[in-house]
Amino acid sequence: MQSVAKEFEEKLMCLPAIERACIAEKLLSSLDSSSQKDIDIAWAIESEDRVKAFEKGEISASDDSDVYRRLEKKFNI
């Protein structure tokens, strides 16, 4: 006899990708502690602040290749 979890997995894998993604997000968020939620809120605020600063011309954007090059140089990889 298959376990209940295995039966759910088989049924869930038959769902469209978007539905699986929504279920996965709900499951993962159910594991978050309250401290993780605080971190997520802080990052959301930070990202909004950065977008606003970019739109005002206060900061500039970099190409991903430039970012990767700088990271590789910084971490010797």
State the average pLDDT for the chain: 90
Confidence band for 35, pLDDT divided at 50, 70 and 90: confident
Q: What is the pLDDT of residue 38?
A: 86
Q: What confidence category does residue 12 fall into, taking pLDDT thresholds of 50, 70 and 90?
A: very high
Nearest 5°: phi and psi at 2? -80, 150
| CA distance linking residue 69 with residue 35, whole number of Å | 33
Give me the residue spans of the domains in the chain: 1-31, 33-77
**What is the pLDDT, as a whole number, of residue 30?**
83
Write the CA distances from 49 to 36, 37, 52, 61, 75, integer angstroms: 20, 18, 5, 14, 27
Q: Is the pLDDT of residue 2 over 80?
A: no
